[in-house]
Structure 1
Amino acid sequence: MAFAVMLTGMFAMGTFVSWQIEKSVAEVKAASTALYINAFIAPHLQNLSGNILPASSIQGLNQAMERPDFQASITSVRVWNRDGLIIHSGEPDLIGKKFTPPSASQKAWSGTIAAEFDDIPGDEEIAERFSGLPLLKVFAPIRNFETGDIIAVVEFHERAERLNSELAASEWKAWLATALITLNMMGCLFIIVAHGSKTIDRQRAALKERVSQLSELLRQNRILQSRIERAAQNATEDNERVMRRMGYDLHDGVAQLISLALLRIDRIQGAEGERDNLHKIQKALADALTDTRNICKGLLLPEIQTMTLRDALMFMIRQHERRTGTTISCQIADLPDKASQFVKIALCRYLQEGLNNAFKHAEGQEQLVEVSWDGVTVTVEVADKGPGIRDASLALSEPRLGLASLKDRIESIGGALSIKSVPGNGTRIKASLPLLDEGDADAA
């Protein structure tokens, strides 16, 4: 495209330069011819009266046109008036005849010398006899020496063989210079474009290599992320198994031993002081048994193993209500019947911790649980109307609230946890986890 534009520009420039050279040469030649006219022709036309020349003026004109230097280059001379009448001419048969004035003569009547190459008039009677020769036509105004008014226009036909040769040589030189400059520009442009193309190719290859590397890193990152999520899920399930085993151990070990000690104490009979001491021991052991059983209930979630996610969440809510004697408002949307165990455990532990915090720090004021599911993500929100937290951003890093470890648990399996609290207007924590309907997934 660039080459096409430059070639078009080259032809346009060459044509313009050729035309300008021809025009300039014609003007220079016309100016030199005008000097001859003013020197040898104009003096004999000063006595022009109307359309008639005196015999002396005609004789002077004929003598001027018979000069050897004049006849060597001039093929024809015509003197025109404004009406298109030829007042005098080297061709006697044209004198006194009226024709349509040549268009170039109008410029001469305005006072300017006009010159043109090979502009042969269409009128057959005044066609140049030497039509086979290249001609330069010059139209020069003749002024009255006293008043300065234009009284006639002289038309000269000058042989232009040599002039045409010089013009052709000049035009060829101009075309050659234009072509060389254009070719040089094309060469420079080609080198620039070729260099740029190679640079682009190198950059494209480097970019492809970088994209390939990034794609490989992204693939490895996905694999690592998948492994991390599986490890987190396994860790959640392992942690739950450890807590369950610990609960069983406490229940079956420590709690059973305390129960046995209490039974043995009931059978002991002795003095009144001993009975008081035994009563105190019995009371301490009973309290320890109660605390141990409460700990076991917090660690064990055996009931949720076979429940749906909705039933498991409702179980945790009702268990909290029974344990604390508070009431919780629930808004639970339809949830899929099948859910992964690690999702179920994580949400139940989150709900347990959130409700415990609401009871402990907000005294269970207007506790609310909202559960929603959009087909991809399940969201569980726990809210209260307690005193709130001054800096909610620090709450997720505060160990005593238990939210920091809860946040780590949720995020480790691909979820997110956030907290919003306004001092004096309660707290709201929200957990979101990816959850697909496993029934639909299995069917697919």
Structure 2
Amino acid sequence: MTTTPWHPGEPSPVRPGHAPPWVASVLYAAVLFAGVYYDLVGDEPQVPARTTGFVAALAALFALDAAERRLHRRAGVARGLAAGVLLARVGLFFAVTACDSAGLARALFVLVPFTAYFAFGRRVSLALGAGCAGALLGRYALTSDGWYTDAEAISDLLMFALVLVLTVSMAAVATGERDARWRLESTVRELTCSQRRLRAYAARVAELSTAEERNRLAREIHDSIGHHLTAVAVQVEKAEAFRDLDRAESDRALAAARWSARRALAEARRSVRALRDEPEPFSLSDALTDLVRNGADGGGPHVTLDITGEETGYGEGQLTALYRAAQEALTNARRHADAAHVHLHVAYGPAAARLTVTDDGRGLPDPAAARAAPGVGLRGLRERLQPLGGALCVRSAPGDGTTLTATVPRTLPVPGAADAVDPTAPTGPGR
């Protein structure tokens, strides 16, 4: 049977149904037994045609109930068809009553409000029950003078009314159990669908988490190990170029290459410890000082460092992001800009920290094209800064050098601080 969608907390919808089959079957069997038995042992003469009609009408009732149950099992019964079945049943009740010699067939009429309760609801059932009681009262009024003084008639009326009340009450209980079972099945179906959706969402979250972790590892490799391996390659090439021309310069390049190789190994170990949830304390000031000192010893542009404020209150994620930005800017200045001077300035404010790297190199020949397709390094920096609430800005012009500015918020921002991060700051092109 097709059911209407139902959600917990909503009233149960009224749905056409049928009464438990055993109730009508038991009552039909009792009326059949009483009628046939009375015809066999009663004092009144037997009328075969009347007995045959009585049995045939009850057999039709059994067949009608069986057909109704088959319809319910296949596709349910619409209200119009249910009304037709009820009228046919009432007609057969009259036929059975007309052929009944024992006088017990009128008990069949209690099935009218009982079956109507399942098909049409409480109000229709009560109305039909009152109609049945009124019909019996009208029968006594039309066929029996002074019936209201007849104790047997009054007893029959009261017993019939009491049976009607009990029948409607039993129908209400049975209907409540049916609807509760239906609501439970609907809730189970909803929970099953929700579990399937949750499993799909969990798989999607796992897929996105895997992709995010791959991107994070790619950024770490590029910004840490990749940076130092690039420096090793540059210094080794320099050492080969100066091997015969300037032995001292070649030795300094090899020393710088060895330092970069050791730093790459240290970064790899640091990443492994971080994956094992064993991070080491990180100091941006010490890391930048070491980075600038290595740049001065290994040749290339002259690098100066200026730090103001204290880095207390900033998380390792924010400080690491600024350090990666400094590495990327220095690598670009050495490999692409042909800069003679690079200046790093770090300002720790009450609400944000800002790193500014300025070089006097040749700048970008086509800033618009670079802005449309930024390099891997700067794209990775933006992806690193964005989850932290930071911002990256690169300004450059042909022949006028490049300025990179990275800003990150404090871990615990100070309300009303003037040095807050501006998330709408423009972002420029990258190499």
TM normalised by structure 1 equals 0.36
Q: Comparing both structures, which one devotes a greater share of its residues to strand?
A: 1
Structure ID, larger Rg: 1
TM normalised by structure 2 equals 0.36
Q: Comparing both structures, which one devotes a greater share of its residues to helix?
A: 2
